Amino acid sequence: MEYLQSRLIRQIDAAAIQELGMAGLLLMENAARGACEVLETVQPQGRIIIVSGHGNNGGDGLAMARLLAARGIDSEVHLVRAGKSLTEDTQSNLGFLLRSGINVQEANEENLLAVLAVLTPDDWIVDALLGTGIRGTLRSPFLEIVAAMNHSSARVLAVDVPSGLHADSGAPCGMAVQANVTVTFVATKAGFRFPHALPYLGRVVVQQIGVPQKWLAAWCKMHPT
């Protein structure tokens, strides 16, 4: 199940919800837990800055903030709505954070860029800004935020796919985050196989989202690429 197209992975998510009865919120929780496990292996010593977007990728980042807090690890959460509504599961994870007293900063572009500019090599940025659904070329404010991540001295852990990288072609959509580590879910994205994607990916770790492997293998056999 290596190198699956992003549409197939989205179909796997949908099938897990519809056929197995696994709630989307549970899949998000499992993805966030897997990303937290990888983040902990790098033993971050400085600040952890989580940059979350409005989509489910951003929901993974919000869930990570709560799971890290459950381990006694502090993070700083910046939510980039960019005038868009949050997905239902992302909204749920935002509510969990706010009700538990964890501060979420509604990102003002200027303030977020200022935060990214002063980070050090001991710090980590969790890139949960954009996921596999990106099309076309990055636009403001995402373009400026991705550029700021790349210019930052901090190291970057990308959630599922570096923001701005097309998951199937492996090409940047004008610009993409240059991650040190990419935690991707279910299977490696098809675009990750290409040499031109390597400068953006860093070390790639595949984490599962709680779907039984036998069911997953049978499903993929019935739905060939």
Q: pLDDT for 180-218, tens place per residue?
A: 999 999 989 999 999 999 999 999 999 999 998 898 888
* Residue 102 CB-half CA count within 13 A: 24
Q: In angstroms, rounded to a whole number, what is the distance separating the alpha carbons of residues 181 and 218?
A: 30
Residue 50 inside a domain? The answer is yes
Q: Is residue 33 part of a domain?
A: yes
Per the structure, how many domains does the chain have? 1
**């992975």: which residue's tokens?**
9
Give dist(CA 176, CA 191) in Å, integer: 13
* pLDDT recorded at residue 4: 83
Is 22 domain-assigned?
yes
Q: Give the pLDDT confidence score for residue 43 in this predicted structure.
A: 87
Residue 142 belongs to a domain = yes
Position 223 scores a pLDDT of 76
- In whole angstroms, what is the distance from residue 36 CA to residue 211 CA? 18
Proportion of the chain in helix, strand, coil states, percent, rounded to 5: 45, 15, 40
User: What is d(CA 33, CA 109) in angstroms, rounded to the nearest whole number?
Assistant: 28
pLDDT value at residue 8: 87
Which is nearest to 162 in space by CA: 127, 195, 187? Answer: 127
Residues of the chain with pLDDT under 70: 1, 225
pTM: 0.95
In a domain, 107, yes or no: yes
Assigned domain for 128 exists: yes
Range of the domain at 120: 6-222
In a domain, residue 197? The reply is: yes
SS3 176: coil
Q: What is the pLDDT of residue 225?
A: 63
Residue 1 lies in a domain: no
pLDDT tens per residue, range 149-169: 999 999 999 999 999 999 999
| CATH number, position 38 | 3.40.50.10260
Nearest-angstrom CA–CA distance, 155 and 45: 11
- The closest of 145, 111, 126 to 66, measured between CA atoms, is 126
